[in-house]
Structures are given as C-alpha cells and as structure tokens.
Amino acid sequence: MMRALVTGNFEGQTPVNNIHGTLVDLVGGGVLLRGPSGMGKSDLALRLMDRGAVLVADDQVILDARRRGLVGAAPDSLYGLIEVRGIGIMSLPAIKTALVKLVVDLTDADSVERLPEKAFVELEGVSLPCLRLHAFDVSTPQKIELAIRYPDQLGLGVEDYKKG
C-alpha cells in the first residue's frame, strides 16, 4: 500500500492515504465515491447534495484510520471545490471531515447486479460496505441514501426475507 505525507484538514500532519475519489456526508455518514475519471463522481455528488449531502472532498480524498473508523478530508488546496462539468470549478459549502460509512464503486450500467451479495472493501485497515452502482442512473442517489439509512439490509436477497 502506497502512503504519502500530505496535509489535509486534519489536526497536525500524519501519514495518510490520498486517493482519487469524491466524498460527501449524507445523513451523518460519509459516502466515498470511487471510479476512473469521467465516471460521474462529481455529478453524482451534486445530485446527492440535492438530497441534503454536504461536500467534503472532490477529486482527491485524504483517508486516515482512527479509533472510531475511517475519516476522510480534502487536501487543503481543494477544500470546498468541486468540478462541475460544463461549468468549471466551483466553490461550494463544505465540511472539513466525514466518517466514511459507505464506499460506492462506480461502474457502467451493464455491470450493476440486480441482487448483489453483501460486499466489503478494506481501506487503511477499516472494512466498509461497498456498492457497485452506475452514477448516471436516475435512482442512484436514492439507492445510496437507502444504503446509508439502512446499512443492515445491504446485500439481502429474497431468501433472507423469507427466513425472517
């Protein structure tokens, strides 16, 4: 795992991991959006902000494992900035940090499973639930909000409900 010393919106300087992604805080949970350039991370973040999310970081996210979990922040130079395709770089209200509760790996529409199994990803030694979604599906912001609000139901299929 590559680590770099970067200064972000954390107290003091600690070795942390700077990754390509976008982070918003939605109903008290950080949602880390990952995917290659042009996959729709910033666009999806804007649509999540329409649902009440607050920007934490766009393009680069500094991650730091703490006792309470994985905390994300923007590098100082990018704090409050987001790329809005077709408009440019904009300065928007933002918060300094968020506790990451969900990772969303963005993919093309054909790769989204109808009934995915529960999946996790490990970042900085912290295991987090992970969804694979298409950024430009109309319902993707709602799906992410459901995942944040009801994390215990991620990856459940019909058989799970028949048992209960």
Q: Tell me: the pLDDT tens digits for 121-154?
A: 999 999 999 999 999 999 999 999 999 999 888 8
Catalytic residue check, 114: yes
Catalytic residue check, 34: no
- Token representation of residue 130: 């992970």
Residues 151-158, mean pLDDT to the nearest whole number:
77
56-79: pLDDT as tens digits: 999 999 999 999 999 999 999 999
Mark residue 121 as left, alpha or beta (left: phi above 0; alpha: psi -120 to 50; beta: remaining): beta
Q: In degrees rounded to 5, what are phi and psi of residue 64?
A: -140, 120
pLDDT value at 86 more than 90? yes
**What kind and span of H or E run contains 23?**
strand 22-26
pLDDT value at 5 more than 60? no
Residue by residue, DSSP assigns 76-127 as GGGTTEEEETTTEEEE--B-SEEEEEEEEEE--GGG--SSPPP-EEEETTEE
DSSP 8-state assignment for residue 75 = B
Catalytic residue check, 20: yes
Catalytic residue check, 59: yes
8 vs 35: which has the higher pLDDT: 35
Residue of 59, 64, 105, 137 marked active site: 59
Q: In degrees rounded to 5, what are phi and psi of residue 147?
A: -65, -35
DSSP 8-state assignment for residue 153 = G
- Token representation of residue 27: 């109903």
pTM equals 0.88
pLDDT value at 12 more than 60? no
Residue of 67, 68, 114, 162 marked active site: 114
Fold entry, domain 4-152: Rossmann fold (3.40.50)
Q: Where are the domains of the chain?
A: 4-152
Residue of 41, 43, 58, 134 marked active site: 41
